[in-house]
Amino acid sequence: MYIVTRAAAMAIIVFARFLTAVRGIWQGSEPVPRQRIYFANHASHGDFILIWTVLPPRLRGKTRPVAGSDYWLKTPLRRFIGCGVFGAVLIDRDRESRREDPIEIMARALDAGSSLIVFPEGTRNETDAPLLPFKSGIYHLARTRPEVELVPVWIENLNRVMPKGEFVPVPLICTVTFGAAMRLGAEEGKEAFLGRARGALMALSSKLTEANG
């Protein structure tokens, strides 16, 4: 089984590179083996695949995406890719039906030594706005495990590769930019922290626009 999931992971990474020639840009942090919560903009189902692709293999093995169980448990194929290949930390986004607090699930994954990839917008951004308001989960997670650093990650162009409703991707060059790590301040409140985190992510996007004109 291990060989099958490794092969599937490699195939997905090769395919992602074929489509996007994706490149990781480390701007303010380095790809070092330190426990982290990577938080990124979310426009496509392929978002965490791109982050995964540009992480060095040593870090990749210890980095798990946090994803909605409603989507990733729907079919056997999704379950295989989500859980088997990417080791996704699945959370139930529906407050009514869930039996366990998502923050506890994520904290447990952190305690087991994993780094996490989270999408604080909570859902895929299908609007024209560059970034939706953040849900508060990332704040609660940061308060539960304040020693883990948070790294903003801006994914550029993937939404153009496969816009919502299309099923044939168009090959375009994508970049994944990692910003400077941040931590929750001792006295920092929820709104202030979420605003700061969202600002850090937005700053990476505007830097990109400047660099590319």
Partner 1 sequence: MSLMHAHLFMLLLAVAAFLVAASVAGYILERRLSPDGSNAVIENLNARIKAWWAMVVLMAIAFIGGRAGVILLFAFCSFAALREFVTLTNARRADHWALAAAFFLVLPVQYYLVWVDWYGLYSILIPVYAFLLMPIISALRGDTDHYLIRVAEVQWALMICVFCVSHVPALLSLQIPGYEGRNVLLVAFLVVVVQLSDVLQYVWGKLLGRRKIAPLLSPSKTVEGFVGGVASATAVGAGLWWMTPFTIIQAGLLALAIALMGFFGGLVMSAIKRDRGVKDWGHLIAGHGGFIDRLDSVIFSAPIFFHLVRYWWSLT
Q: Summarize as ranges the residues that interact with partner 1 (CB under 8 A).
A: 21, 23, 157, 160, 163, 166, 168-173, 212-213
Q: How far is the CB of 175 from partner 1 (least distance, A)?
A: 9
Comparing CB distances to partner 1, the nearer of 173 and 192 is: 173
Q: How far is the CB of 160 from partner 1 (least distance, A)?
A: 7
Q: How far is the CB of 71 from partner 1 (least distance, A)?
A: 23
Comparing CB distances to partner 1, the nearer of 4 and 173 is: 173
Contact (CB, 8 A) for 17 and 129: no
Q: How far is the CB of 200 from partner 1 (least distance, A)?
A: 24
Comparing CB distances to partner 1, the nearer of 187 and 210 is: 210
Comparing CB distances to partner 1, the nearer of 114 and 177 is: 177
